[in-house]
Structure 1
Amino acid sequence: MKKSIKRTTAALIAGAVFGSLLYAGPAAANPSDGSATVGAAAANPSDGGEAVGAAVAAKSVRKVDRMTDWASNYRYMDFDGMAQRLDDLLFAFAANPEYVPVDQTESYMPIGYWDDTNRNGYGRMFGFPSYIGHVNGSGEGTMTPGGQEAISTLAPLLSGMLAGIDKTDQYGYNLAEMANGFHNTANGENMVLNRTNTSTGQSFWYELYPQLLYIQIYETAKRQYGQDIPSMRNIIVQGAEKWLDALPNFKNSSGKLSFDFTSYNMKTGEPVRNGRWTEPPGGALAYIFY
């Protein structure tokens, strides 16, 4: 069984890598250095290999030649500065240690808010609304503590970290570690999911994407800011092991390995099809296992 799981994991990773190669296409050779034409990587004659094709001189394309080097309507976008200003706007709430409700009538400010419900036992966390002014179908607003989604809360957290803002120490808080609040322990799932109180068996998108964001937050804190957060590392390993244990159950009606499902229910140990669409999780699982 272990050998089968290892082979399957290796196949997932290989598939993800091969897929990226297909997307990127073969390396284009540079005519200026005497190598082969675009579309195939030329062998290096100096090492005994054969050139893929004859050297081709760069061609002049009249329409391209008439293009200016600097378009008149070009405007430089300072994306780094934009990211910094966006972070200032989103995380302004954290400067105040007290919980301030979001104004849901006119300004919808502050955008973010503290969440002290402590649903999963990790203490204070925070949240952002899915949309400004959005209230989901159940009537529980995502602008109130406990109603936030991981995909709209963890994404700006990671964005700020990638923009050079140390979220392990911002306004005196380790905001990165607060992502632990999405680790669903209270209901026994013990998985990082899209809500603080939800379960698997509904959609791979909402069950895997939050884990990918969570892993990236941990890795960025460790590599970019030198902060190895043990609690996050343990949660990541636990999640990977649970998915690895589930892998042998990913079978179609013929008993063969398949990822053509909508979700997977960790409690029943069975893949789920909703009868309307499928969300193959191969690439996400490969990343989690890696």
Structure 2
Amino acid sequence: MKSSLRSALVAAAILISPILASPYVVAAEAVTSTNVSAGQVSTVERFSVRSSDGTMLAVEAKGNPAAPEILFIHGLRQSGLSWDKQFDDPTLSGFRLVRFDLRGHGDSGKPEDPESYSDPKLWADDIKAVIDGAKLHRPVLVGWSLGGYVAGAYLNRYGGSHIAGINLVDAVVKLSPDLLTPLAGQFSETATSRDLAVRSKATAEFLASCFNIQPTPEEFDKMLVINGMTARAVNEGFIQTSLTDLLPIFQTYSGPILLTHGVHDRLVRVATSERVRDLHPDSKLQLYENSGHSPFFEEPERYGHDLKAFVLSANN
């Protein structure tokens, strides 16, 4: 194990060097972790990048930089840790995996003005900063819930010529009552309440509504803490966004789209993914019969195999 650890540390230094050279990266470190059950030593690179308005974004990367790339974009009130099961999935070990905390979330910067979250150009610039800072060449974007909106904002501003494919997971692609449920509309009001008691209760209820197969109590507590770290201005700003319909953006994207949707989603209707499928000629919809809003968490083994197949196909 000592030899393996020494080799991993050397590899970590090699991996982190190109990232440190990026003008977008402010600080970086390599953390070596051991998966005891699998007997494996892996290195996770942690670094911060600066977006166009100065907001700092916390990023983690793992895997061979020369391998096909996947950039994971989490949902509202979550964090990059949402993708823990994917980062630990042996099925995805052959890829370059990158995740980050959206502005206003997790360990990333939290501007206090709602305008920092209502401007779709800033969400797009965040993705650009992460792609450039992580030295990604042609990643597949995985956008869950709000992350789907953020992926669309990037395409709208920068185009999709350098994006190998897009996986929309129960994604928000249009702010419309025919695609979002009444429950989602209710949370958009309670989550912006000035009453802390109302907002706290809404946070716990919102988190529970994200799953059909509920997390363990330990997992739920961890997620609840992360939800509580989200800046209130995120909710206040996002509902004021000027970009409310991303369907035309995904329709004109020239690459492949994989649509992943839980049948029991209580927030985003399956019709949302069906709409994208009907508009985009190179798209495929995969329904997860046991999942709610978070199929990558609720059915991770199947999701890992589905994502692997899509990424390999998108890079051929």
Q: Normalised by the size of structure 2, how large is the TM-score?
A: 0.28
The structure with the larger Rg is 1
Greater RCO (Cα-Cα under 8 Å, separation 6 or more) = 2
More strand by share: 2
